[in-house]
Amino acid sequence: MAKENEQKQPMAPIGAWAPAVALGWLIPGGGHFLLKRHGRGALLLASVASMFVCGLMMQGAMFQPQSGDLLTTLINTGGFVGDLCSGLLYLLTVWFGYNVPDMPGHVHDYGTKFLVTAGLLNLLAMVDAYEIASGRKD
């Protein structure tokens, strides 16, 4: 239960946090660089980029939204959102024509998970940039 003494903080103006979140999506760690958190930004950039590159080197598949039964829709849409959260890494990969079909094998399966996890890590970095820019976190 929440304490009665705690008050909800009002939402910061969109102009305070939107540039950091948008740049953080486009370039992993970019929001932190914008907020003068260079060490954290460099660590995030290196982590997300290396996970994404490892996923590509393992020939992981990129998800595409599909309709069908509920489980297929959830898995493919969730995977697509995870891939898309990698920002510029995802956009460049698609633009250059990377299209590996989903094939059986442990290495390919791990590569697919690396690609999605890189995007989810970048999503966490965007939330962190939001919290710093809005003054909720130091």
The mean pLDDT of 63-78, rounded to a whole number, is: 89
The mean pLDDT of 18-24, rounded to a whole number, is: 94
Q: Long-range contact list for 73-79, CB < 8 A, 24+ apart?
A: 79/112, 79/116
The pTM of the full predicted model, rounded to 2 decimals, is 0.86
pLDDT of residue 6: 58
| Average pLDDT, rounded, for the chain | 90
Type of residue at 33? F
- CA–CA–CA angle 40, 46, 52 (5° rounding): 130
pLDDT of residue 53: 97
Residue 5 has pLDDT above 70, yes or no: no
The mean pLDDT of 93-110, rounded to a whole number, is: 89
Separation in Å, CA 4 to CA 7, 9, 108, 130: 8, 14, 51, 26
* Reported confidence tier of residue 33, pLDDT bands at 50, 70, 90: very high
- CA–CA–CA angle 112, 97, 72 (5° rounding): 40
Residue 102 has pLDDT above 60, yes or no: yes
The mean pLDDT of 26-36, rounded to a whole number, is: 95
Domain residue limits, the chain: 16-133
* Of 2, 1, 24, residue with least CA distance to 129: 24
Cα torsion angle, 45, 106, 93, 77, sign: negative
Residue 63 is classified by DSSP as P
Residue 136 is classified by DSSP as S
Residue 85 is classified by DSSP as T
Residue 15 has pLDDT above 90, yes or no: no
* Reported confidence tier of residue 136, pLDDT bands at 50, 70, 90: confident
